[in-house]
Structure formats: structure tokens, C-alpha cells
């Protein structure tokens, strides 16, 4: 019984953390997009070949995100992952 309670408590905690992380506002998505644009531009100047390779990899994902502007969460996830490539 205690094991079941511990598992349920862990599940509730996990779901609570996931929901907190999932909250992404349109304003945050816009900030991430601006940060991405700034980082991408700086990266392009620093290493044009790596920039081209990274953008070629990111292009399909970027198009997918842009086709569904209502999915703010997907935008935030994309920009977080894309920024990581340029850092």
C-alpha cells in the first residue's frame, strides 16, 4: 500500500512539473524567436558553413512550427532546441 502511495505521489509530482514546464505564453515564444534570430545572425557571421548546416537541419522543423502558429508550446520547444545548436 505504501509503495502504491509513493508511486502516486511521484506521478502527481511529475505531472505537476510537466504542466509547469509546459506553460509557454505567446510573449515568451516571441522572445525566444527574437533570441533565435539574434543568435543565428551572430553564428552566421562567426561560422557560415556551420550556420548553413544547422539551418538546413532546422528548416523542416521551422516550417512545421510556422504552419501552426497557434501551437505556442511547439514554438517554444523549437526555439529552445534551435538556440542550443547555436551556443
Mean pLDDT of 3-14: 39
More confident site: 20 or 86 = 86
pTM of the prediction? 0.68
Could you give the angle at which helices 26-46 and 72-86 cross, rounded to 10 degrees?
20
28: exposed, middle or buried (Cβ count in 10 Å: 0-12, 13-18, 19+): middle
* pLDDT computed for residue 21 by the predictor: 57
Residue 44 above 80 pLDDT? yes
Task: Parse the chain into domains and list their residue ranges.
Answer: 24-86
26: which residues sit within 8 A by CB, 6+ positions away?
Answer: 72
pLDDT, the chain, mean = 80
Mean pLDDT of 23-45: 94
Amino acid at each position: 500500500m505504501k509503495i502504491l502511495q509513493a508511486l502516486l505521489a511521484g506521478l502527481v509530482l511529475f505531472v505537476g512539473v510537466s504542466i509547469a514546464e509546459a506553460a509557454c505564453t505567446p510573449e515568451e515564444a516571441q522572445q525566444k524567436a527574437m533570441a533565435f534570430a539574434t543568435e543565428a545572425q551572430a553564428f552566421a557571421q562567426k561560422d557560415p558553413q556551420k550556420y548553413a548546416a544547422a539551418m538546413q537541419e532546422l528548416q523542416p522543423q521551422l516550417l512545421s512550427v510556422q504552419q501552426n502558429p497557434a501551437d505556442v508550446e511547439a514554438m517554444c520547444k523549437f526555439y529552445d532546441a534551435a538556440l542550443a545548436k547555436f551556443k
